[in-house]
C-alpha cells in the first residue's frame, strides 16, 4: 500500500517515491499525520486536499486572499529579492541593463531569454520598426472616445480592439503566430499610446518615423507638429528608454498575473494584455505615478509636509509612490529613476515638485510609521516628475508604464502558454453565504 508520503512525493514528481524535504502535518480533527513534500521552498496546495475528516470531505484548501503567499507559476524571467532590493531580468541586474542596454534589447532578452547577437538585434529591431503602424480603422475607433477620455482607457480599448484586426492571434499554440503577435504588440503599443495623447490634445495623429529609435519615435508621435522631421533630444530619448527598461517586467505583479490568468483561458494575447492594462490602470499599481504628482501638487510646499505626514499616520492619506508588496527595502528602480531626473532636468529645467518629493522622502524615511512598515519609495515615486518635465499630462503617466511593461507581459504570456503545468486559472473559495433557501414570491416579501 502506498503511504501518504509516497503518494505526495509522487505528486511532486519525486519519482523515487521518497521526498527529500517534507512538511509533517498532524490534523487535530482526526489525529492523522501527513508528510507533504517541500520542493523549491514550496508545497503544492493540491497536496493539502488529501487531508480530510471523512471520505466525502472535499479536503483542505489553502486560503490566501490577494495571493500574499501563493506562487502561481514557475518562471525564469525576473528575479526579485524584496529584502535586499535586488531586481534581475533573466539574471542580469537591472542596474547594468539600465546603464548599458536599450529597451528593445531588453525586450528581446525578456522574450527570448538571452541577450541578442548583433545580427539578432538588427533583425528584431527591423521587425519591430516595420510593425509600428496600425490599421487606419483604429484611428476612427479612437476618434469615438470623448476628447477628454483618460488615455489608459483608450489604450485599454484600442489594444483589445487589435484582437479583432488579427483574428488568427488566437492560434496561441502556433510558435510563428506567437512570434508575429509579440512583435506587433511591442511595436504598436507606443503608436496607440501616442494616438490617445493626440486625441486628448485635439491634434492630428503623427505616424511612426522608423528612422528614429523606439523612445525617440514615441516622442515624435507625441510632439511632432509642422516640422518636416522631428528630431528628439537624444538625452530625453535616452532617459525615456531607460524608464521603459525599468518598467519592462516585475515577476508576478497584479497586471502580469491578470495577463496570465486571462491568457490561461486560451484567448489571444491582445485580449490578455488589454486585461493587464486594466489592472495597471489602478492607483495601487501603475496608476500610482499619476497619483504621486497629484499628491505633490496637493502638498504644494515643503512647509506642508509635516501636516501631510500626520494625515498619513492618522490614516487619512496614503503616501503614493511608497510601499511595495515585495520590496521591504528601497526599490532599485526608484534609485535609478531619481538619478535619471538629473539628466532630464539638465535639458528641461528642474521640476519644482522635485524639492517636495526629496524632502517628503527624507522625512518619511526618518519616521517610525514608515520604517516599521518597511515603506520605501517604489518605481512610481519619481517617474512622474520626469514624465511631467517631458511635457506629458498626468493622465499619460500610467500609459508610459504600460508601454514599458508590454515586453514583460508578452514574455510572461509566452512562458505561461508553453508551461505544461499551467491550465485555465480557476481558484476555489470559502463559501460564507446562505444555503438551501426556498423561493419567496414577490407578494410575500416583507
Residues identified as active-site: 285, 324, 380
Residue with the shortest CB distance to ligand SDX: 323
In angstroms, what is the minimal distance from the CB of 404 to ligand SDX?
Answer: 9
Out of 379, 403, 414, 416, name the contact with ligand SDX by CB under 6 A: 379
Determine if 52 is a binding residue for ligand SDX (CB under 6 A): no
Q: Which residues pair with 79 in a beta bridge?
A: 88
Determine if 320 is a binding residue for ligand SDX (CB under 6 A): yes
C-alpha cell at 97: 541593463
- Which residue lies nearer to ligand SDX by CB, 239 or 375? 375
Q: Which residues pair with 92 in a beta bridge?
A: 89
Determine if 135 is a binding residue for ligand SDX (CB under 6 A): no
Cell 487589435 belongs to: 162
Determine if 257 is a binding residue for ligand SDX (CB under 6 A): no
- Which residue lies nearer to ligand SDX by CB, 212 or 379? 379
CB atoms within 10 A of CB 42: 13
Contacting ligand SDX within 323-352 (CB under 6 A): 323-326
Q: Angle at the Cα of 25 (from 22 to 27), degrees rounded to 5?
A: 160
Determine if 253 is a binding residue for ligand SDX (CB under 6 A): yes
Determine if 70 is a binding residue for ligand SDX (CB under 6 A): no
* Greatest extent of the chain over all pairs of C-alpha atoms, in Å: 81
In angstroms, what is the minimal distance from the CB of 405 to ligand SDX?
Answer: 7
In angstroms, what is the minimal distance from the CB of 241 to ligand SDX?
Answer: 17
- Which residue lies nearer to ligand SDX by CB, 157 or 404? 404
Determine if 11 is a binding residue for ligand SDX (CB under 6 A): no
Determine if 312 is a binding residue for ligand SDX (CB under 6 A): yes
Q: Which residues of the shown chain bind ligand SDX in the complex (CB under 6 A)?
A: 250, 253-254, 284-286, 288, 312, 318-326, 373, 375, 378-380
Amino acid at each position: 500500500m502506498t503511504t501518504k508520503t509516497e503518494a505526495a512525493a509522487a505528486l511532486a514528481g519525486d519519482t523515487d517515491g521518497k521526498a527529500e524535504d517534507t512538511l509533517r502535518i498532524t490534523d487535530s480533527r482526526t489525529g492523522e499525520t501527513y508528510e507533504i513534500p517541500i520542493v523549491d521552498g514550496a508545497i503544492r496546495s493540491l497536496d493539502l486536499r488529501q487531508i480530510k475528516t471523512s471520505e466525502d470531505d472535499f479536503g483542505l484548501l489553502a486560503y490566501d486572499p490577494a495571493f500574499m503567499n501563493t506562487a502561481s507559476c514557475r518562471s525564469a524571467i525576473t528575479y526579485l529579492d524584496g529584502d535586499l532590493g535586488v531586481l534581475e531580468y533573466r539574471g542580469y541586474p537591472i542596474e547594468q541593463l539600465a546603464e548599458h542596454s536599450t529597451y528593445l534589447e531588453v525586450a528581446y532578452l525578456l522574450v527570448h531569454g538571452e541577450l541578442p547577437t548583433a545580427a539578432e538585434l538588427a533583425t528584431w529591431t527591423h521587425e519591430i520598426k516595420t510593425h509600428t503602424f496600425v490599421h487606419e480603422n483604429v484611428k476612427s475607433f479612437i476618434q469615438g472616445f470623448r476628447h477628454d477620455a483618460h488615455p489608459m482607457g483608450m489604450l485599454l480599448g484600442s489594444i483589445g480592439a487589435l484582437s479583432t484586426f488579427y483574428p488568427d492571434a488566437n492560434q496561441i499554440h502556433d510558435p510563428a503566430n506567437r512570434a508575429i503577435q509579440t512583435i506587433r504588440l511591442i511595436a504598436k503599443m507606443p503608436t496607440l499610446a501616442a494616438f490617445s495623447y493626440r486625441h486628448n490634445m485635439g491634434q492630428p495623429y503623427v505616424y511612426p518615423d522608423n528612422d528614429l529609435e523606439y523612445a525617440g519615435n514615441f516622442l515624435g508621435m507625441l510632439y511632432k507638429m509642422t516640422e518636416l522631421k522631428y528630431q528628439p533630444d537624444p538625452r530625453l530619448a535616452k532617459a525615456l528608454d531607460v524608464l521603459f527598461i525599468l518598467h519592462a517586467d516585475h515577476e508576478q505583479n497584479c497586471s502580469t498575473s491578470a495577463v496570465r490568468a486571462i491568457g490561461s483561458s486560451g484567448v489571444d494575447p491582445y485580449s490578455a494584455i488589454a486585461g493587464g492594462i486594466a489592472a495597471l490602470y489602478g492607483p495601487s499599481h501603475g496608476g500610482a505615478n499619476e497619483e504621486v504628482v497629484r499628491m505633490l501638487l496637493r502638498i504644494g510646499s515643503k512647509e506642508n509636509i509635516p501636516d501631510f505626514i500626520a494625515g498619513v499616520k492618522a490614516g487619512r492619506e496614503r503616501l503614493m509612490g511608497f510601499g511595495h508588496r515585495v520590496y521591504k527595502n528601497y526599490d532599485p528602480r526608484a534609485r535609478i529613476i531619481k538619478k535619471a531626473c538629473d539628466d532630464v532636468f539638465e535639458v528641461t529645467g528642474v521640476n519644482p515638485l522635485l524639492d517636495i518629493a526629496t524632502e517628503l522622502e527624507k522625512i518619511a524615511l526618518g519616521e517610525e510609521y514608515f520604517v516599521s512598515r518597511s515603506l520605501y519609495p517604489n518605481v512610481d515615486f519619481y517617474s512622474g516628475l520626469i514624465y511631467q518635465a517631458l511635457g506629458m499630462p498626468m493622465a499619460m503617466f500610467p500609459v508610459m508604464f504600460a508601454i514599458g511593461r508590454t515586453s514583460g507581459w508578452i514574455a510572461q504570456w509566452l512562458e505561461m502558454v508553453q508551461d505544461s503545468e499551467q491550465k485555465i486559472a480557476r481558484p476555489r473559495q470559502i463559501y460564507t453565504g446562505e444555503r438551501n433557501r426556498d423561493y419567496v414570491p414577490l407578494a410575500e416579501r416583507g
